[in-house]
Amino acid sequence: MLISFAKMQGLGNDFMVVDTISQPIYFNQSQIRRLADRHLGVGFDQLLLVEPPQQPDVDFHYRIFNADGNEVEQCGNGARCLARFVKIMGLTWKYKLRISTLKGVITTRMHKDGNVTVEMGVPNLEPDKIPIRYAERNLEYSVESDGIRHKVGAVSMGNPHCVMTVDNLESTPVEGWGKSIGENHIFPEQANVGFMQVISEREVNLRVFERGVGETLACGTGACAAAVVGILNKQLGKRVRVNLPGGYLTIDWEGEGQSLFMTGPAEFVFEGQIEI
């Protein structure tokens, strides 16, 4: 079967985006893994599928699959790319959209400069919702990596994140710690692991090891999680610039119980066809 797709990226976090409204299709795990291969396939961090709305008050539904073929709940950079994709492809005339995911409905707003703002919803801090195997909610949780005990913050942005504050990102073993912490038994669904270096109350540097992918150039929900943890710990103000290897995102959050807003770029790279 020959399918059409677009390649998109947000701060270097890249996606294969497929419109399954006009070309209904199902991908199995082995197909996704092959398509994700940067030598044998299209190459991407995540596959995004645009589907018809499942509720009367939303514009689209979308699904997210990591490069390993596993479906995940949310992707901030992906949401921005999806919003631009449906506009470029003529699937909508709207600049503001409501889009449903596995974890609920988000809203997106396209700006004239090409940036997209996504209302990511209210961060969930309850241990059983993150999920993390702790009976009580804390600002910090203890987790072990290679015999070393670390203190991390934890939050769900529709997917599980833990965030560690470090003094120097360059000397932090992101690959090793990211994998061992993210796969620790304390996280029953594994976790995305962020390493945050605070520059000022308005700015942080961040590297993220994503479950099922590895370290990426950018992680939208990881940037949101880092801002939440920093704000709760009174390290950061309500608007934060998050510098990632691929560029920066702006996060706005008024505090607990409030929706979080993420703003950043979404770029169309190319479109093509591939046989599966």
Catalytic residues: 75, 219
Rounded Cα–Cα distance for residues 230 and 253 (Å): 11
* C-alpha 106, offset from chain centre: 13
Sign of the dihedral through C-alpha 204, 210, 216, 220? negative
Cβ burial of 115 (10 Å; 0-12, 13-18, 19+) is: middle
Spell out the residues 6+ positions from residue 115 whose beta carbon is closer than 8 angstroms to its own.
Answer: 263, 264, 265, 266
Contact 14, 213 (CB under 8 A): no
Closest CA to 124 of 102, 101, 100, 157: 157
